[in-house]
Amino acid sequence: MGRMGHIAGKGVSKQHSTVIEAALPVVKFLQKVSEVSNISLGRLDVHLPTTGWRIKITEMRGGMKLQVRGTSSIQQLMIYTTDLSGVQEKLVKEFSGKFQIIL
């Protein structure tokens, strides 16, 4: 199983603080994006079959839902923003070389 860490800071929901290894750089990046007002760390599943890292982006009211898939785990993140397309573009630019991006 991949390493998990705890995260807090700008815009991170206090309900959950555990972040899988693959989602950690995504959360840290989004904390620096001025258009992101809140990041809600959601459900995570572990002990999944081994695969490559990927981010699935789904639009929702007020922002987007990210499913960040690591080597053997997956985590949902709810990203709240007023500039959906701008944040999505920044995510793709930052992580397209490290993750498979699914829109």
Give the model confidence (pLDDT) of 14-55 as tens digits.
555 689 999 999 999 999 999 999 999 988 899 999 999 999
Q: Mean of the pLDDT values across residues 70-96?
A: 96
pLDDT score recorded for residue 8: 55
- 51 — phi, psi (to 5°)? -155, 175
Q: pLDDT band for 2, please (50, 70, 90 cuts).
A: very low
> pTM for the whole thing?
0.83
